Amino acid sequence: MPHSQPSPQTTSDLLSSAFALRSSICAGINGEILIPGDKSISHRALILGGLAIGTTRVSGLLKGADVMSTLDAMRQLGVDISEADNGDIIIHGVGLHGLTTPDAPLDLGNAGTGVRLLMGVIAGQSITATFTGDSSLSARPMRRVTDPLEEMGAQVSYLPENKAKGLLPVTISGATPVLPADYHSNIASAQIKSAILLAGLNARGITKVTEPHISRDHTEAMLRHFGLTVEQTILEDGRHEVSVAGEGLLRAADIAVPRDPSSAAFAMVAALITPHSHITLPGISMNPQRVGLIATLQEMGGSLVLSNHRIEGGEDVADIEVRSSLLHGIDVPEQRAASMIDEYPILSIAAACASGKTHMVGVSELRVKETDRIAVMADGLRRCGVKIGETDDTMTVFGTNSDGNNSSAHSAISGGVTIASQHDHRIAMSFLSLGMVSKSPIIVEDVSTIATSFPGFAALMNNAGAKIKRQS
C-alpha cells in the first residue's frame, strides 16, 4: 500500500488560518495512514509526568493546539519541559507538592480536557490559579467539575454573571487540607472522574468516584504506570467505582503515546463510505473504553479487521485494516456512549451513507461539547438531504443508501452546502469526510480548529486520495 503522511508545507498551507476547505467526491481512500498520537493520553502524560518525581520521556505526544495548551500551562506551574532532538518530550517532574502559583492566568485555548484535569490538580495543591480559554471553551459549563472540587475543600470563584452556568474564567485556590471524596456522578465522564482523582492525590485518605458505567480510564491506567495503586470495581448494578489513596508517590516513567482512535475514526468512516477504498491504520489505541465506534461500525456491516495486538506504553494497541463497505443502520446501545462520545459526529456521517435507520441514545453529553454537536450535525445533514430526528438525549439518522449500492454514482447525499463548524474540529472533519461522497462539494468554514486534535488531517487524507482543497 502507498504510505500516507503529510508534507509540512502542505499541512501548514491547509490549516494555518481560518479559511474554508472544500471537499469533493473522490475515487477512493487508499494506503497506510499514520494517525497522530492520542490526545487524551497526551494531556495526562504531561500532567502526571509533571507531578512525578524524576524525569519522564514521552514519545509520540500529539503536538496539536489543545495538548500544547496543557504543556504551556504545566510550564507556568513550574515544570521544566523540553523537546529532544528526536521530537520526544522531556518532563522534569516536581512531585505532588512542587507546583507553584503561576504569574498569569492559565489560558487553555480550546482544551476542554486540559482545563478540567488541571482544575483537579490545582484543587489538590496549596496554590491558586485562574483558568481562561477561547470563546468556545468559555461557553462550556464547568460547575459539574468545580462543584465536587469545592466539596473537597477547594475555593472556587467565578465572575458573578458566570457563576450559575459555571463559565470561564474561574479562579481555584487549592484545599488545605484536601478532603478525600466519595463522589457519586450522575453521568459517566472521564473528565469529572479524573479531576476528582487528581485532586485526591494529596488527600489524607481514599478518594472514590462512582459513575453510572465505566468511562475512559486513561487516568487510572497512567496512575498505575507511575506507581500508584488504583482500585476499580464494576458493581452488581453495573456502576463503576474507582478509588485511589492520597499522599502516595508518583515515580517518573517513560510513556509511548499510541495513535488516537478518535482521530482514526475519520479515516475509518471515510474509507467505509467511499467506494474502492482500502486503508491500513497502524498502532491505534485499543483501550477497552475507546473502541465503541469500531464495534458499532462492524455491527453496521463495516469491514474493519484488527491485527497485531500488542502493548505499547501500558496501553493496548492494534493495526486496523478498513475496506469500503455497504453499511446498514442499527440501534447503538446506550451503555456504549461513554466509550465513543467523541465519535458520534462521524458516526452520523456513516449512518447517513448507510441503508436503514441508526438510532443513538444516551448522547446528551454531545450538547455541551465544543458546540451542541447534535444540533450542528443535524442541521448540516438535513441541508445535505438527510432525514434526522433528535431529542435532548437522542439522535436518529435515516440512511440515504436505499438501493444498497456502494457507488458514488448512486449517492443520495446532495452536498453543495457551506458548513460553519462552529469552531468544532470534529464537526469540521466529519463534513469534510462526507464531501468525499456527496454529489456536489461540501465547503467547511472555521477549519483552523482541526489543528487542536488532528494537525495534518487534510494533507494525510489527500495523500490517500481525498480531494480537500482550500476554498478561494
Asked about 254 being catalytic, the answer comes back as no
Please pick, among 342, 379, 393, 424, the residue that the annotation labels catalytic.
342
Identify the helix (H) or strand (E) that includes residue 234.
Answer: strand 230-234
Residue 9: count of CB within 10 angstroms of its CB: 9
Q: Strands 206-211, 467-470: parallel, antiparallel or unpaired by DSSP? A: unpaired
Rounded alpha-carbon distances, angstroms, from residue 189 to 74, 172, 367, 370, 446: 23, 21, 14, 15, 27
Cell numbers linked to 319: 493495526
Q: Which of 179, 219, 227, 222 is nearest to 199 (CA)?
A: 179
Residue 228, sorted as left (phi over 0), alpha (psi -120 to 50) or beta, turns out to be: beta
In angstroms, the CA 364 to CA 189 distance is 12
Residue 18: count of CB within 10 angstroms of its CB: 11
Q: Which of 469, 414, 417 is nearest to 443 (CA)?
A: 417
Q: Which of 303, 301, 267, 302 is nearest to 284 (CA)?
A: 267
SS3 at position 464: coil
Q: Which of 145, 270, 264 is nearest to 198 (CA)?
A: 145
State whether the Cα torsion 98-102-105-111 is positive or negative.
Answer: negative
Residue for cell digits 462521524?
346
Please identify every residue annotated as catalytic. Answer: 342
